[in-house]
Chain A
Amino acid sequence: MRLVVISAGVSDPSSTRLLADRTAQKTLDLLGESGTAASVGVIELGPLAVDIARAIVSGFPGERLQEAIARLAAADAVIASTPVYKAGISGLFKSFVDVLDNDLLIAKPVILAATAGTARHAMVVDEQLRPLFAFLRALPVPTSLFAAPEDWGSPALGDRIERAATEMVLTLRSGVGRSIADSAWTGYQHQFSGNATRSERSASDVDFSTDLMRLAAGGLG
C-alpha cells in the first residue's frame, strides 16, 4: 500500500503538515496491525508553487510537477491537507488540483484535512474540500479532520485522527475503490494518454466499438 500526503502548508514547521503526518502515521499503524505493509510519500506544494502557477498558464506541467502528479496517480490512498486562508482552502492547493487530470483520483480513498487560525473556519473542509473531491470522483472517508490552535491541546483531535484513519483502513481493506475503478472505469470521461494509472496509452487499450470510433472508421459497420 502506498499512501501519499498532499500538504499545502508553507511554514516550517507547518501545522498543516503535522496534521497530515499524524494522520498518515496512524493509518500506517492500523494497516500494520492488520498485517498490511504500507509506506508514505509526501507532496509538499510550497516548493512546487511556481511550477503549479506556470502549469496553469502554459497548460502543461513541468518536469518536477509531472513527477509529483505521477506519484499521486500511483497512490493507493491520499491524505489531503490544506491551511485555511481568508475563509477558504489555500489557493495553492486549489491550483494544484486544477492541473490534475479529471480522472486521476477516481474512486481513490482520501482523508480530507485542514488547519486554521480559528475554530470558526471548521466547516471549510466539508464545504470546500469535500465538494472538490466529489468533482474528482474520489472516495473521501466520512470523518473530516480540522485543527484550530486549541485542538493541538485536546485529545479529541487524536480521537478524530484515529477515527478517520480507521475509516481509511477499512475502505482500503475492503478494496471498494479498486472494485469501483475496475468495474466502472469506462463510464467516466478520460483523456487518451493521460496521467491516470488506468489511462489508455496505446491501441491495445482503446475500445473501438464506440459510436465515435465507428464513425472514425468510415461510419460503416
Chain B
Amino acid sequence: MENKVSKLAILTKGIIKENPVLILLLGTCPTLATTSSCLNGLGMGVSATAVLICSNIVISLLAKIIPDKVRIPCYIVVIAGFVTVVQFVLQAFVPSLYASLGLFIPLIVVNCIILGRAEMFASKNNAFDSALDGIGMGLGFTLALGVMGAVREVFGAGTILGIAVPFLSAHPIMIVALAPGGFFVYACAIAAINYFTNGKAIQKKEFGCAGCAMASTCQQEKCLAELEKGAEA
C-alpha cells in the first residue's frame, strides 16, 4: 500500500478510533432498533459483520471489472446476495433471533456502514486488506451494539443476557428498553464520548452527508446547499 498503513492498523481502526456507530455515527437505524436487549444487539452485529466481510472481499475482487457508472447497483446486488444467505442461516439455526430481529435482517442491505465500506475502502484496496477492514468495522459495530444493548437490557428489563441483575430486576425502568430509551441511551453514549475526549473524537457536529455511503453518487449535499440558498434569498 502506498501510504504504508500497517495491517494491524486497518484491523483495529474500526474498533475504537473509527467506530462506525459511536464515532462515525453510521447505521443509526439498526443501532436504535435492535439494541432493546444485549443478545439482539450482538446478533445484529454479528449478522452485519458476516455480510460486511463477505461483501468487502467480493467487491474488492470485482472492483476492476465493474464499470464506474453502475458500481452502486452492483455493490447493492452483491450485498443483497450475502444478506439473503445470512437470512437463511439465521432462519435455520437461530430461529428465535431471526424472529426478534425480523425486518431488520433484510434491511442490512441498506445499512450505510456496509455500502460505505464498499465505496470508501473495498473498491480501492486488495481483498486481504478489505477483509481485515470488514472484520475491524464489524467488530466495532458489534461491540457498540452489544454495549448499548447491555445498558438498555440492564436498566430496561433488569437482566443481562437473560440473567437477572439483583435490585434492578425488581425495579426495571421499562422506558429504557422501549423506543424513546433507544434515542436517549444513544444520545448519552455520544455525549459521554464528547465529554471524555473534549469533543475531539466525534468530528461530525450534525447528522449530514459526509459519512453517508451515497454521498459521492447522490447530490444531496449540493441540493441541500441550493435549498438553503433558496431559503435565504
Do chains A and B stick together as partners? Answer: no
Q: Which residues of A contact B (CB under 8 A)?
A: none
Which residues on B are within 8 Å of A, measured CB to CB?
Answer: none
